Amino acid sequence: MAQRPHVVIVGAGFGGLAATRALRQVNVDVTIVDRNNYHLFQPLLYQVASGLLDPSAIASPVRTIVRRNRNVNVLRAEVTGVDLAKRRVTTSVETLEYDYLVIASGSVTDYFGSEDARQRSTGLKDLSEALSLRSRLLGCFERATLTTDADARRRLLTFAVVGAGPTGVEYSGALGELIKHVLPKDYRSIDFADVSVVLIEAGDRILASFAPRLSRLAAHTLEQKGVRIVLRKSVRSIDDNGIVLDGGERIETHTVVWTAGVRAATPLDMDRDALGRSGRVKVTPSLTIADHPEVFVIGDAAAFEQAGAVIPMLAPVAIQGGKYVGAVIAARLKGESSPAFRYHDKGTMATVGRGAAVAQIGPIHINGLIGWFIWIFVHLLYLVGFRNRALALWSWAWNYVFWDRPVRLIITPSGDR
Question: What is the per-residue pLDDT across 52-72, written as a single tens digit (0 to 9) for each?
Answer: 999 999 999 999 999 999 999
- pLDDT tens, residue by residue, 314-373: 999 999 999 999 999 999 999 999 999 999 998 899 999 899 999 999 889 999 999 999
Q: Residue 103: what pLDDT?
A: 96
Q: Which whole-number Å values give the CA distances from 74 to 71, 103, 310, in the listed order?
A: 10, 15, 31
Q: Please count the other Cβ atoms lying within 10 Å of the Cβ belonging to residue 142.
A: 12
- pLDDT level of residue 414 (50, 70, 90 thresholds): low
In a 13 Å sphere around the CA of 275, the CA atoms on its Cβ side amount to: 16
- pLDDT tens, residue by residue, 286-295: 999 999 999 9
The answer to whether residue 1 scores a pLDDT higher than 50 is no
The answer to whether residue 416 scores a pLDDT higher than 60 is no
Q: Residue 417: what pLDDT?
A: 43
The answer to whether residue 28 scores a pLDDT higher than 50 is yes
Between 42 and 276, the higher pLDDT residue:
42
- Per annotation, catalytic residue among 94, 129, 170, 252: 170
Contacts by residues 381-385 (CB-CB < 8 Å, ≥ 24 positions apart): 382/14, 382/41, 382/43, 382/315, 382/319, 383/41, 383/44, 383/58, 384/17, 384/39, 384/41, 384/60, 384/65, 385/60, 385/64, 385/65
Mean pLDDT for the chain?
93
State percent of the chain over pLDDT 90. Answer: 87
- pLDDT level of residue 155 (50, 70, 90 thresholds): very high
The arithmetic mean of pLDDT across residues 3-22, rounded, is: 96
- Domain 115-260+348-402, CATH: 3.50.50.100
Contacts by residues 63-69 (CB-CB < 8 Å, ≥ 24 positions apart): 63/37, 64/385, 65/17, 65/39, 65/384, 65/385, 66/17, 66/20, 66/32, 68/24, 69/20, 69/21, 69/23, 69/24, 69/30
- pLDDT tens, residue by residue, 179-232: 999 999 999 999 999 999 999 999 999 999 999 999 999 999 999 999 999 999
Q: How far apart are CA 339 and CA 341, in angstroms?
A: 7
- pLDDT tens, residue by residue, 244-282: 999 899 999 999 999 999 999 988 877 767 788 888 999
Burial 43-71 (b: 16+ CB within 10 A, else e): bbbbbbbbbbbbbebbbbbbeebbeebeb
Between 135 and 1, the higher pLDDT residue:
135
Q: Residue 231: what pLDDT?
A: 97
Q: How large is the greatest C-alpha to C-alpha distance in the chain, in angstroms? A: 77
Q: Residue 2: what pLDDT?
A: 60
Annotated catalytic residue 201? no
- Domain 6-35+77-109+263-333, CATH: 3.50.50.60
The answer to whether residue 415 scores a pLDDT higher than 90 is no
Residue limits of CATH 3.50.50.100 in the chain: 115-260+348-402
Statement: the pTM of the whole predicted model exceeds 0.75 = yes
Per the CB < 8 A criterion, the answer to whether 252 and 151 are in contact is yes
- Based on the number of CB atoms within 10 Å of its own CB, is 273 exposed (0-12), middle (13-18) or buried (19 or more)? exposed
Residue limits of CATH 3.50.50.60 in the chain: 6-35+77-109+263-333
